[in-house]
Structure 1
Amino acid sequence: MQPNRAIWTYPWDVQDLGLDAVATELRERAGLNRISLASAYHAGRFLQPRSPRRTTFSPEDGTIYFRPDPARWAQSRLQPQVASLVAESDVLRDLVAARDRTGLSVAAWTVCLHNSRLGAAYPDAATESVFGERYAHALCPSHPDARNYVCTLVEDLTHGCRVDAVELETIGFMGYRHGLHHEKDGVGLTAEDDLLLSLCFCPFCRDGAAKAGVDVESAAATARNWLSESFGRAVPTPRLPRLLTEGLAAFAPWPALHAYLLWRSVPVMSLIADIRARAHPDSAIHVIDLAAGWLGGVDQAGLRDVCDGLILCAYDIGPDEITRQTSEARRALGPDRYLGTGLRVFYPEVAGPDMLAERVDAAIRGGASGVNFYNYGLIPAARLDWIRAAGAGLSHHGFSC
């Protein structure tokens, strides 16, 4: 089987440029064999350098980009909102229907728990901080309604649209920093500050952790005390300077907090397992994450038991680090699960075709079985040539265009 050579793409890119023109460009100019199309996405403002219709585009917040099956959503408290541009065309279904003609398999790139529209409408389903404040940008993976929303979304994509794969983005607990517009931080939050602010202490998380034997009140008290001390410092001072290299083991001297942090993987991994169980068996389920996915409760090694693989985003790092992170992920997943690497084609992070080729080569050397490039509509057309060139020299790895 040919390895996946994919590019993350927005539906409005396909509408603006035309499905056949996009497919031809991806297949023949960029040398790709898969399009990963946004099926559920958040708000933003995007510069569209090649669009003949709009220089910038600001999508609606927390919407889906396909026509759902109303019967599947009849019992869901959290309801999807269809983006207005779907009235023009259902690009996802059109791409699936055209697979044989275009030669492109279709993945549904799906933002899961990052949904400010739903978080604002249903605050009880959103993350609740240790200070009792709700974060509208982050639905909680412990909340039954949030879990059912994501499972139903993937069920609809796989049984209704019959995509080849679903790529799950933001499937775990979201970080405090990845939040709302115009965020302000005059304190200078450290890595552990951000993690502690990201912890959810909603009733469902409290109950789940308590049933697992965690001293939730002690964990919450430690988190509150640490944050209060951080807020009072003139200059930010990391309490755990090696947190990002040691992982959650850095919290071992504080047993209750450590246990609570370890428990967070339980709702996240069970949610991924539920998604896999409800998805069509012919559609692969892949998690999009970073090497430090443990910050959000994703257990990299555990993914091999609950889904079909991982797409490891390797942004803003050099080839040696890409190989190291990919190798670690391959060891965690084992040889039989899919491992893709996400690479951004942004300047100056990638300044030319040779730099991109080095990163692709590093990923394959580390054990990746595919690559996702970011992002079709955001880059000049000339960088599609870089993508093809990056694949052209990889025949010695068995990964060729």
Structure 2
Amino acid sequence: MKTSAFLYPWDVVGDPEAPARIADLGVQQVTLASAYHSTRALTPRHPRHRIVTAGHASVLYPPSPERWAGRELRPYAAGSWAPTPDPYGEAAAALAAAGLEVHTWVVLAHNSRLGTEHPGTSVVNAYGDRYPWAPCIAQPATRAYLTELAAEAAVRPGALGTELESLGWYGLAHLHAHDKIAGVGLGDAGQYLMSLCFCPACAEGYGGLGLDADELSASVRRALEPGWSTGSSDAGSSAIGKLLGAGTAAAVLQWRTRTARTLQEQVVAAVRAAAPPGFQVLLHADPAAHHCGANAGVDPEHILGVADGVVVPCTGGPALLAPFAVHRTDRTVLAANLTVVSGMGGSPATLAEDAARAAGLGATELRLYHAGLASDADLTLVRAALS
């Protein structure tokens, strides 16, 4: 199976040995971040540093002044964590020179600085709390910004394809700085209810489906109330239907699914219009439509009719591949995303077995998260598995 390793540009720029080290793993491709959220990342082999702190979401190349002229919402340039003016471009060139295909890795609807500086763009929950990390994808200005960002960040010089992360609803779950929200377990259903948006655009959208936004938010708060005392493990769409009422839950999901679908269609079309022929477009995705976050909840049949394929989280097992495999064609890419960093819950020691299980459920490719973060011992195990 074709295998790609995730990397940040700062894993490569300033480390002349990095490209050969990655190629020596046995991967054929690198998925290299060109637009990324804030993070604090380990660089265990870099000759100049050990920790990179990216203080806010940014693009890792020089954005086009002409493209963004006159736009209120625009990408942020990287700060001091960017080792050069074009870290993506320099890293991509070095990796390509080592014989590796390079695809872009683009994070879209996940941007805390955007929500801080433009609070009106954020998801607003049923209690009126804003989620600055989660831009509401129903708002026209946000949709236009994300579409333009995707077209620019995905189609970098020399890239043969892209992987679009967070192209859908983001919600409550978020690895925020000094996160302190795990004291009450909400379960899958509670997480969903806490992720519903009640900004003006969403209120209008609910109204178009016969729902009053104020009544809906009150219903959500009532449904959540018992969980604040005892916690909850309720999971799945059936649990959401019991909490909200089946008809209301279906209408809410219809609004959110339609909003995400049309944005995904719009973004993929914009990327393809900007890209050369044969450029591959994949989406990080989850087959449960009510899920939100980095792996956008999608309808498998629909998304495989829009994108060239999906990247599916499989570290906990390959089961999420099955709903996509039902709808694949000979040209569909089903990439199983496996964490190979032991300290982050990955299992590089079982990579060969995990890959075989994923292939049995339809995976055509592998993604390894993350070659820059992994220890030397982890990378040795990866190399052995891929050999």
* TM-score, normalising length: structure 2: 0.88
State how far apart, in whole Å, the 2-side matches of 1:13 and 1:293 are.
34
* Residues 181-190 or 364-373, more deviating: 181-190
CA contact (8 A) 2:312 2:335 kept: yes
* Residues 42-51 or 64-73, more deviating: 42-51
- Find 2:186's aligned residue among 171, 189, 213: 189
Q: Deviations over 1:53-84 (max 9, x none)?
A: 12222112111111111111124321111113
Task: Give the Å deviation of 1:325.
Answer: 2.4
**Cα gap change, 1:331 to 1:294, in 2 (>3 Å):** farther
CA contact (8 A) 1:157 1:163 kept: no
Aligned partner of 2:248 in structure 1 is 256
Task: Give the Å deviation of 1:248.
Answer: 6.1
Aligned partner of 2:78 in structure 1 is 83
CA contact (8 A) 1:311 1:340 kept: yes
- After superposition, residues 67-216 of structure 1 pair within 5 angstroms as 67-84=62-79, 85-86=81-82, 88-97=84-93, 101-159=97-155, 161-178=157-174, 180-185=176-181, 186-216=183-213
Q: Deviations over 1:301-340 (max 9, x none)?
A: 210122221000112x2xxx41x32222211444432111
Q: Deviations over 1:25-63 (max 9, x none)?
A: 222x20111111111222232222212212222112111
1:51 and 2:79 matched:
no
Task: Give the Å deviation of 1:107.
Answer: 1.3
- Give the match's secondary structure for 1:61: coil
**Paired amino acid for 2:298:** V
- After superposition, residues 2-401 of structure 1 pair within 5 angstroms as 3-18=1-16, 21-27=17-23, 29-84=24-79, 85-86=81-82, 88-97=84-93, 101-159=97-155, 161-178=157-174, 180-185=176-181, 186-231=183-228, 233=229, 235-238=230-233, 241=234, 243-244=235-236, 253-279=245-271, 280-281=274-275, 282=277, 283-292=279-288, 294-296=290-292, 297-315=297-315, 317=316, 321-322=317-318, 324-347=319-342, 349-351=345-347, 353=349, 355-392=350-387
* Residues 329-338 or 259-268, more deviating: 329-338
CA contact (8 A) 2:25 2:382 kept: yes
Is the helix fraction higher in 1 or 2? 1
State how far apart, in whole Å, the 1-side matches of 2:178 and 2:153 are.
33
Q: Deviations over 1:232-265 (max 9, x none)?
A: x2x2244xx3x23858666684311331023211
**Cα gap change, 1:339 to 1:294, in 2 (>3 Å):** farther
**Cα gap change, 1:162 to 1:266, in 2 (>3 Å):** farther
State how far apart, in whole Å, the 2-side matches of 1:184 and 1:352 are.
30
State how far apart, in whole Å, the 2-side matches of 1:337 and 1:352 are.
26
State how far apart, in whole Å, the 2-side matches of 1:159 and 1:110 are.
10
Q: Deviations over 1:203-222 (max 9, x none)?
A: 11222232244454443332
**Paired amino acid for 2:191:** D
Structure 1, unaligned runs of 5 or more: 393-401
Identity between Structure 1 and Structure 2 (%): 28
Structure 2, unaligned runs of 5 or more: none
* Residues 179-188 or 49-58, more deviating: 179-188
CA contact (8 A) 2:30 2:100 kept: yes
State how far apart, in whole Å, the 1-side matches of 2:239 and 2:56 are.
33
**Paired amino acid for 2:379:** L
CA contact (8 A) 1:220 1:257 kept: no
Alignment length, in residue pairs? Answer: 376
Task: Give the Å deviation of 1:345.
Answer: 0.6
CA contact (8 A) 2:338 2:369 kept: yes
**Cα gap change, 1:254 to 1:158, in 2 (>3 Å):** closer
- Give the match's secondary structure for 1:17: coil
Task: Give the Å deviation of 1:86.
Answer: 4.2
